[in-house]
């Protein structure tokens, strides 16, 4: 079975005044039809840049310098703007982080919902209106017709994010990329939005890529997960594999720094010491080594390849530190 | 929208009322008006007569109300210098100033808006650099100097256009270009920076993510938002061009209201000055009101603000 989306060896460079910044390095990612794939990592690890690269909306200073993004056998990395804009909003759609600023304040919700539908020739205005109302109801917005004619300022953040979801679904895309879809929302609203997203995903049979830093989100909705650190994928597998049997020290650290996972004896939340290295200029070796309790000199010598821990579960580490091994139980992190 | 319009209209009327009072007071700030009319050698009897004749002996408030009543009826006073009603003079002079102002304003918009948008759509491109050059030059060159240079080039050397007067449309070309160019840089720079800001906004990214064409994103999503601050600036500029074309009018010897204002000040012809100041102030208030209403039409949040 071929994947809906297959990213091979993706590299994204950003030109900065200090030199070239390797925002994404040698990233591989496969998303099957109907799969929910989470990309997780802390701020600046390259997860949002990856999302923007997928939909061809990288900021001007960022450039795909190597690799391919195959979407239904079509390489998006080589596609021109016209080709990309035919796919955008049509076959793949995106939901952004900030619902408060992502809707145009001077256009009605209805205009913004229907314009993509009309642009991609999915039907006439009447069909667009009907689909918009249907989807607004589906994402849990009551009085859909009233909302259709309103401007964004009269909607709350949660409602706006629901509108964004409805908007993403307008053209029945195969893939939705959601970049931190719930980060800007209240905790209760977060849960509702996530539930809506997963329901719609299974109902419409689409694939979902969710970018998040929140492991709670991952646990709630993901089938598979890719953990990113400093522009690299450090571990990938199913949710139960990655969280149940983490292979990379960074994954372990992430898990331990989640509220609720605090060590019962110390009652303190773990933090990963140190900071993410600067990605400007060439970096060799493991990018996590200066924060890693298991680092050995060899970690700095050469770039480390992904190795297989079990079927479909790979990680990027020289040390075998998965759960149950003596190094890990020390809980040094 | 109706509520907003009524509210803004009420505020504009209040401002206009205040302005009219200040204009009225102008006559008294300048000194005793009776002495101003008669000159320093007047006798006490003459002064007393003039005071009574013009009603200067009444309480200030009564005078103001009487004056306001006359203004509302279209009586703008009697020119000391011309010895005719001020409104008669203004009827001759105002059309020239308004024509010049509107022509120059249209020219400024025609240059500033497309260039500003094009510059923002492709920053650091050739168009952007050309726009920057034009606006820096426009801001650096004083308009009287540019006016004189235009006369030297187009009237004296090439003999293409008349250098002074207001007899035909050809007389308006040079003043329009000079005054229009003067107003262009500010509008263009604001259009560019406002457009750049909007183009990097989240909702423009959303629009792009829907696969909309570049043109749709630029004009439907970006411009509508970007033009909001430009509208306010443009209204102020137009007000300024109507009232502030004194320099241009004198360089090109256009017999407009700006020129008249300047001459009347030096002649001590206070009723004329008063009428012009009042008219221009009210034009300014009206333009600001129009700009606000236009912005409310553009921006629903302004429109609905209670």
Beta bridge pairs of residue A92: A88, A175
% of chain B residues with pLDDT over 70: 97
Mean pLDDT of A303-315: 86
Mean pLDDT of B195-204: 93
Contact B206 A164 (CB under 8 A): yes
How close is the nearest chain A Cα to the Cα of B212, in Å? 7
pLDDT at residue B105, as a whole number: 94
- The b/e string for A5-44 (b: 16+ C-beta within 10 A; e otherwise) is bbbbebbbbbeeeeebbbbbbbbebbbeeebbbbbbbeee
Q: How far apart are CA A45 and CA A95, in angstroms?
A: 19
Q: What is the pLDDT of residues B289-305, one digit of tens each?
A: 999 999 998 888 887 76
B37 Cβ contact partners less than 8 Å away, ≥ 6 residues apart: B50, B54, B80
Question: Which residues from A are below 8 Å from B203, CB to CB?
Answer: 101-105
For residue A150, pLDDT over 90 is answered with yes
pLDDT at residue B205, as a whole number: 92
Of A81, A98, A107, the CB nearest to B202: A98
Q: Which of residues 32-71 of A touch B (CB under 8 A)?
A: 55, 57
Q: Return the SS3 of A210.
A: strand
Mean pLDDT of A139-147: 91
The encoded tokens of residue A279 equal 């990605």
Residue ranges and CATH numbers for the domains of chain B are 92-265 (1.10.3720.10)
Q: Return the SS3 of A224.
A: strand
Of B206, B210, B298, the CB nearest to A119: B210
Please enumerate residues of B whose Cβ is less than 8 A from a Cβ of A.
201-214, 216, 220-221, 224-225, 298-301, 304
pLDDT at residue A266, as a whole number: 55
For residue A260, pLDDT over 80 is answered with no
Element (H, E) at A179: strand A175-179
The rounded radius of gyration (Å) of the Cα atoms in chain A is 21
A136-145, A257-266, B21-30, B164-173 — most confident range: A136-145
The pTM score is: 0.82
A88 touches chain B (CB under 8 A): yes
The encoded tokens of residue A239 equal 């949710």
Top residue of B122, B206, B222, B225 to mutate, by most chain A CBs within 10 Å, is B206
Higher local confidence (pLDDT), A270 or A226: A226
- Which pLDDT band holds residue B216 (cuts at 50, 70, 90)? very high
Contact A57 B299 (CB under 8 A): no
For residue B59, pLDDT over 90 is answered with no
How close is the nearest chain A Cα to the Cα of B115, in Å? 22
Contact B301 A167 (CB under 8 A): no
A167 touches chain B (CB under 8 A): yes
DSSP A154: G
Average model confidence (pLDDT) across chain B: 87
pLDDT at residue A148, as a whole number: 95
**Distances from the Cα of A117 to the Cα of A78, A86, A132, A151, A277, angstroms:** 25, 11, 9, 19, 43
Q: How far apart are CA A122 and CA A127, in angstroms?
A: 8
Q: What is the pLDDT of residues B4-36, one digit of tens each?
A: 889 889 999 999 889 888 888 877 766 677 776
pLDDT at residue B43, as a whole number: 80
Contact A102 B207 (CB under 8 A): no
Q: Which residue matches tokens 């190597």?
A: A66
Q: What is the pLDDT of residues B143-153, one digit of tens each?
A: 889 999 999 99
For residue A261, pLDDT over 70 is answered with no
Cβ–Cβ under 8 Å, residues A321 and A329: no
- Which pLDDT band holds residue B3 (cuts at 50, 70, 90)? confident
Q: What is the pLDDT of residues B249-275, one digit of tens each?
A: 888 888 888 888 888 888 878 888 888
Nearest residue of B to residue A106, measured between CA atoms = B299
pLDDT at residue A256, as a whole number: 82
Q: Alpha-carbon dihedral of residues A311, A316, A319, A322, nearest 10 degrees?
A: -50
For residue A325, pLDDT over 60 is answered with no
Nearest residue of B to residue A150, measured between CA atoms = B300
For residue A77, pLDDT over 50 is answered with yes
pLDDT at residue A73, as a whole number: 84
How close is the nearest chain B Cα to the Cα of A79, in Å? 14
Beta strands across the sheet bearing A232-238: A92-95, A175-179, A207-212, A36-40, A224-229, A232-238, A313-315, A307-310
pLDDT at residue B249, as a whole number: 87
Higher local confidence (pLDDT), B57 or B111: B111
Residue ranges and CATH numbers for the domains of chain A are 5-222 (3.40.50.300), 248-329 (no CATH)
Q: How far apart are CA B266 and CA A125, in angstroms?
A: 66
- Which pLDDT band holds residue B247 (cuts at 50, 70, 90)? confident
What was the ipTM of the complex prediction? 0.85
- Which pLDDT band holds residue A324 (cuts at 50, 70, 90)? very low
**Distances from the Cα of A158 to the Cα of A94, A139, A213, B210, angstroms:** 17, 11, 19, 21
Nearest residue of A to residue B301, measured between CA atoms = A153
Longest CA–CA span in chain A (Å) reads: 66
Q: Which residue matches tokens 């994928």?
A: A233
How close is the nearest chain A Cα to the Cα of B73, in Å? 42
For residue B1, pLDDT over 80 is answered with no
- Angle separating helix axes B86-121 and B257-267, nearest 10 degrees: 130
% of chain A residues with pLDDT over 90: 39
Mean pLDDT of A73-101: 89
For B28-32, the CB contacts below 8 A with 24+ separation are B28/B60, B30/B268, B30/B270, B32/B56
Q: What is the pLDDT of residues A17-46, one digit of tens each?
A: 888 888 898 899 999 999 999 999 888 788
Q: How far apart are CA A201 and CA A35, in angstroms?
A: 9
pLDDT at residue A286, as a whole number: 87
pLDDT at residue A331, as a whole number: 40
Cβ atoms within 10 Å, residue A4: 20
């Amino acid at each position: 079975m071929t994947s809906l989306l297959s990213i091979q060896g993706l590299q994204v460079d950003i030109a900065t005044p200090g030199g070239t910044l390797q925002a994404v390095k040698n990233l591989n990612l496969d998303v099957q039809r109907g799969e929910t794939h989470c990309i997780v990592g802390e701020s600046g690890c390259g997860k949002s840049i990856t999302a923007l690269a997928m939909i061809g909306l990288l900021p001007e200073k960022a450039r795909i310098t190597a690799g391919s993004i195959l979407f239904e056998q079509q390489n998006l990395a080589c596609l021109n703007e016209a080709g990309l804009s035919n796919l955008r909003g049509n076959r793949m759609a995106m939901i952004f982080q900030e619902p408060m600023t992502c809707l145009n304040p001077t256009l009605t919700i209805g205009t913004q919902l229907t314009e993509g539908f009309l642009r991609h020739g999915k039907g006439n205005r009447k069909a667009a209106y009907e689909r918009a109302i249907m989807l607004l109801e589906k994402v849990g917005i009551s009085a859909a017709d009233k909302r259709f004619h309103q401007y964004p300022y009269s909607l709350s953040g949660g409602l706006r994010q629901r509108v964004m979801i409805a908007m993403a679904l307008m053209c029945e895309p195969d893939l939705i990329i959601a970049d931190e879809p719930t980060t800007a929302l209240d905790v209760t609203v977060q849960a509702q939005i996530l539930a809506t997203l997963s329901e719609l995903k299974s109902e419409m049979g689409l694939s979902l890529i969710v970018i998040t830093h929140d492991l709670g989100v991952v646990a709630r909705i993901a089938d598979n997960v890719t953990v990113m650190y400093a522009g690299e994928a450090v571990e990938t597998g199913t949710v139960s594999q990655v969280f149940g049997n983490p292979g990379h020290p960074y994954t372990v650290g992430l898990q331990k720094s989640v509220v609720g996972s605090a060590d019962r004896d110390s009652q303190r939340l773990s933090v990963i010491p140190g900071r993410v290295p600067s990605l400007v200029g060439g970096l060799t070796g493991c990018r996590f080594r200066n924060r890693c309790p298991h680092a050995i000199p060899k970690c700095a010598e050469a770039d480390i390849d992904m190795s297989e821990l079990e079927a479909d579960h790979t990680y990027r580490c020289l040390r075998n530190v998965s759960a149950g091994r003596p190094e890990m139980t020390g809980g040094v992190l | 929208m109706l509520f907003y319009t009524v509210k803004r209209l009420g505020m504009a009327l209040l401002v206009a009322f205040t302005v009219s009072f200040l204009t009225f007071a102008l006559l008294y700030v300048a000194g005793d008006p009776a002495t101003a009319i008669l000159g320093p050698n007047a006798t006490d009897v003459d002064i007393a007569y003039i005071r009574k004749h013009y009603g200067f002996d009444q309480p200030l408030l009564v005078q103001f109300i009487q004056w306001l009543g006359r203004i509302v009826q279209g009586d703008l006073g009697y020119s000391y210098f011309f010895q005719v009603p001020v409104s008669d003079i203004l009827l001759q002079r105002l059309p020239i100033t308004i024509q010049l102002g509107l022509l120059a304003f249209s020219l400024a918009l025609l240059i500033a808006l497309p260039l500003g948008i094009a510059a923002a759509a492709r920053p650091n491109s050739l168009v952007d650099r050309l726009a920057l050059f034009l606006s820096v030059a426009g801001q650096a060159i004083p308009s009287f100097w540019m006016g004189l240079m235009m006369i030297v080039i187009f009237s004296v050397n090439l003999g293409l256009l008349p250098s002074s007067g207001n007899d035909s449309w050809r007389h308006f070309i040079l003043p329009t270009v000079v005054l229009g160019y003067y107003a262009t840089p500010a509008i263009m720079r604001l259009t560019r920076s406002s457009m750049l800001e909007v183009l990097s906004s989240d909702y423009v990214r959303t629009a792009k993510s829907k696969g909309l064409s570049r043109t749709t994103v630029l004009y439907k999503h970006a411009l509508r938002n970007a033009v909001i601050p430009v509208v306010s600036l443009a209204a102020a500029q137009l007000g300024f061009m109507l009232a502030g074309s004194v320099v241009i009018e004198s360089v090109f010897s256009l017999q407009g209201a700006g020129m008249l204002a300047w001459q009347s000040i030096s002649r001590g012809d206070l009723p004329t000055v008063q009428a012009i100041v009042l008219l221009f102030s009210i034009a300014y208030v009206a333009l600001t009101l129009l700009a606000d209403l236009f912005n409310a039409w553009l921006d629903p949040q302004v429109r609905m603000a209670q």
